[in-house]
Amino acid sequence: MSAVLLEVEQLSKSFGGVQAVQNVSFHVKKEEIVAVIGPNGAGKTTLFNMISGIIPPTSGLVRFQGAVVTGKKPHELATLGMTRTFQNLQLFSDMTVVENVMVGFHPRLKSGILSAGFRLPRTVKEENEAREQAFSCLEQVGLVHLAWKRAGTLPYGMQRLVEIARAAVSRPSLILLDEPMAGLNPQESKQLVDVLLAMREQGFTFLFVEHDMETVMSIADRIVVLDYGKKIAEGSPGEIARHPDVIKAYLGEEAARC
Amino acid sequence: MGMEQYRRMVDRRKQWLLLAGAAVWLGLPWLVFGNNYVLSTLILIGLYALVSTGMTLLMGYAGQISLGQAAFYGIGAYASAYLTAHAGWSPWLALAAGAVLAALVALVVGIPVFRLREHYLALATLGFGVIMFTFFKEWKGITGGLNGFFGIPTIRIGGFSLQSDLHFYYLVSLFVLAGLWFAHNIVRSRVGRALRAIHGSEVAASSLGVNITKYKLQIFMLSAVYASIAGSLYAHYVTFINPDLFGIVPSIYFLIMVVIGGSAHVWGGLIGAAVYVCLGEWLKAVVPLLLPNAGGEFEIVFFGLLLVVMLIYMPNGLTGVVAKGMSKILEMSRHQKKQVAPTENHNARSIGGERG
């Protein structure tokens, strides 16, 4: 049994009178792939934004590697080893692909404004290291040949891979993926699934929000189901597929449509 | 060809450019026969280039705005003026003290101001400029008020006094070179990437570990230091300063220089300053011929219009246009080479193995 990496305890968020997330608890273990699913408006993105420090929770706790991190800023969490991607891509579109990924290596470098400005040997060494790491990460997602292209000019599916490489290059212990399959065609989705599974083999841990049930069922070790801001089920893909509440709330709609 | 060869080609081109640049820099004063009017224009370009290089880092790279940059120019100028003329400090010490003071003021002002974004940030920095202008005007004991500050000593190096425009040309251009070098190093480092990331997407930059508030403040402080050093040099150059040089209108002119130059490259600040000063001199010569009754206000109208036109048709400034053209040419030459050598090895590993 491997160690627990992330614990979410009784996390809640209300916007005005609306309870977007209510008392949600679950955990993620090392080298797991955990999916959060739920119908539109179930509070998945809100939950994600609270875990990654973008918005503060109304109540509840987030524990990461044993320490309470509720209220920490996103950049502090990244330094502790938790990074994320975004549903609507947030690439730095005017920077090249490799520069994008090198930004992801930021927490592993130390050069400040003076060391960088005077180009001290330490900075030169760090820059080389960052570039090497970025290239090896790009190689992993199969984008090395596009390293010097402006990120904004890449097709959507490749931009998503860049975003994942960027989130992974600092070797964080946990990566949050917000709807990684959104907007991808079936071929791109398959490529992304392969990349994620290969990364898991190397010891990466993922927590992701997703709509695409096929992907969720094929790569998640465990699934947490939200509906109207509450957790209604948690279990293996097999258990979730048979769970009556889940079928009613979510899969039911899909099954009826198909 | 591989990247290696391509790099070497670029390196060689860079060396030639460097050599040519050095020749122009050293030879320029003789080229203009030591003409003092031209030299003083070049000095002005250099001083403004320092200010706008700092601002290019702040605006172009980090995507933040300052409409009060002339205040830092003023802090440097008055710090140097007061400390050398009244306190008897060495000009170099006074220049350093001015830079430290400007950085501290930027820190104190920046902490509240950088909680704001875009228009609100612009307004807040404008307000800061107005306040500082009032300080320069009213704090007569130190600044001499509207009458100005007279008798600022010249800069000395060892026992040698830098009095002529020729001396000052070399001094200022050394500072400009150092400023460009420093800015260039920042841009191609972790810090520069962080700044551009903030410009691109604050939420993404932050989720990757970039401390947004820290970098915004640091780059604001750095831009203040650039402006302050330029102000110190200016004070020693003209030996007389008055508050009007550090008010809102000069701040707007600095902004215009940055917009003209653009931020595709650190040279943007220098190019913007050169274009601004030359256009200004040209206007001074031409406008009286066309409109005999026009006053000095004509300049702000002209540059105001230019600002609007630039923002609409050339939002990335002159360096943006040049960079775009260059990348097109490079792309074309690469295509041609591909046709010549179709067996070229373009696989991932050959590129991945390179160091840039």
The region of weakest confidence among A70-84, B81-95, B123-137, B158-172 is: B158-172
- How does DSSP assign A189-224, residue by residue? HHHHHHHHHHHHHTT--EEEE-S-HHHHHHH-SEEE
Q: What is the pLDDT of residue B2?
A: 54
Q: What is the pLDDT of residue B342?
A: 43
* Residue A90: pLDDT band with limits 50, 70, 90: very high
| Contact (CB<8Å) A116/B189 | yes
| Contact (CB<8Å) B203/A75 | no
pLDDT tens-digit series, residues A165-187: 999 999 999 999 999 998 889 89
Q: What are the backbone angles phi and psi of residue A36, rounded to the nearest 5°?
A: -110, 120
A136 neighbourhood in chain B, CB within 8 Å: 352
> What's the whole-number mean pLDDT along residues B190-204?
95
What are the boundaries of each domain within chain B?
35-342
Cβ A69 vs Cβ A61: under 8 Å: no
* Count of helix runs (H) and strand runs (E) in chain A: 11, 10
What is the token pair recorded at A111? Answer: 């050069």
Q: What is the pLDDT of residue B156?
A: 80
User: b/e for B231-258, b at 16 or more Cβ within 10 A?
Assistant: bbbbbbbbbebbbebbbbebbbbbbbbb
B292 or B220: which leads in pLDDT:
B220
Residue of B53, B184, B188, B189 to mutate when probing chain A, most A C-beta within 10 A? B189
Residue type, A232: I
Q: What is the pLDDT of residue B148?
A: 86
Is pLDDT above 80 for B40? yes
Residue of A87, A93, A97, A106 to mutate when probing chain B, most B C-beta within 10 A? A106
* Residue B13: pLDDT band with limits 50, 70, 90: confident
- Following CA atoms B224, B177, A129, A157 in sequence, which dihedral angle do they give, to the nearest 10 degrees? 70
CATH, domain B35-342, list 1.25.40, 1.10.3470, 1.10.10, 2.60.40: 1.10.3470
pLDDT tens-digit series, residues A111-132: 999 999 999 999 999 999 999 9
Closest Cα in chain A, distance from residue B156 (Å)? 26
Is pLDDT above 70 for A25? yes
* Residue A197: pLDDT band with limits 50, 70, 90: very high
Is pLDDT above 70 for B300? yes
B340 or B252: which leads in pLDDT:
B252
Give strand ranges (E) for B35-180.
Answer: 155-157, 160-162
pLDDT tens-digit series, residues A204-252: 999 999 888 888 888 999 999 998 889 998 999 989 888 888 888 765 5
Closest Cα in chain B, distance from residue A216 (Å)? 24
A112 or B2: which leads in pLDDT:
A112
* Residue B344: pLDDT band with limits 50, 70, 90: very low
Q: What is the pLDDT of residue B354?
A: 35
Is pLDDT above 50 for B252? yes
pTM beyond 0.80: the answer is yes
Is pLDDT above 60 for B353? no
* Domains of chain A listed by start with CATH number: 1-77+204-258 (3.40.50.300), 82-171 (3.40.50.300)
> What's the whole-number mean pLDDT along residues B30-39?
77
A170 neighbourhood in chain B, CB within 8 Å: 208-209
* Residue B352: pLDDT band with limits 50, 70, 90: very low
Q: What is the pLDDT of residue B356?
A: 32
Is pLDDT above 70 for B351? no
Q: What is the pLDDT of residue B338?
A: 56
Is pLDDT above 50 for B1? no
| Contact (CB<8Å) B347/A123 | no
Q: Chain-wide mean pLDDT for chain B?
A: 86
Q: What are the backbone angles phi and psi of residue B116, rounded to the nearest 5°?
A: -95, 165
